[in-house]
Amino acid sequence: MSKKLTYETVYEEIKRRIRSGEWKQGEKMPPLEQLSAELGVGISSVREAVRILGKQKILTIEQGRGTFVTDDLSDASHDRLDFLERASMLQLTEARLIIEPELAALAAEKATEEEAERIMATAMAMKKKVERGEPFLQEDMQFHEFIARAAHNDVMVHMMDRISDLLIDSRRRSMKWPGMHEKASSYHYLIARAIADRNPTQARVLMKSHLEDMLSELRKELQPKDQA
């Protein structure tokens, strides 16, 4: 396989092998180093793909034991994954626009010092990865997760956790948009700064602007070419 493959192509290849039955449910996957050599990609790309699949509960990562296939991706047992395929990213972003600005405002009001520092550290880690041209999906997911937890509302945390699979697919798609890396990184830093400064109004406005920006880009992508 080409050495230019990214973690996203590795992600698709792992799913293909599971779906074909090459790797069966409950079976231990080859070590990451072996997959890296076999696919001709850096181990960081394999690790990122495995992390995403773990979040989606297709793989289970057991510390000290290895990575196991949790889900065989069979049609019979996959209402959840079928929903992921059918789900509208537009609807998801609209839903996030309703929820996440208020979570950011609550985080600015309720976050502990440690939580505010963690949010800022994650925003800075994302910024550095963007500058180096490295994948930052993990930091992006953590940033929004940390804000939800810092809001100290168990109902909202549960709601965000329930759509985590959708959020992963959403971010994988939006990361392909030109200039989105830099925009997202800048917004994340400013939101983290507003939370650290205990400014709920600013945190709310910035998160709303961030998601409106994503919604605008998505609508452009979905617009028929003859109307563009």
36 contacts: CB under 8 Å, gap ≥ 6: 42, 43, 45, 46
Question: Comparing 193 with 224, which gets the higher pLDDT?
Answer: 193
**pLDDT tens digit string along 88-106?**
678 888 889 999 999 999 9
Domain 7-76 grouped into CATH 1.10.10.10: yes
pLDDT band at 21 (very low <50, low <70, confident <90, very high): confident
**Across all residues in the chain, what is the average pLDDT?**
84
Domain range summary for the chain, segments of one domain joined by +:
7-76, 88-222
Indicate the pTM of the whole model. Answer: 0.64
The CATH superfamily holding the domain 88-222 is: GntR ligand-binding domain-like (1.20.120.530)
Is residue 170 within 8 Å of 215, Cβ to Cβ?
A: no
The whole-angstrom separation of Cα 70 and Cα 119 is 31
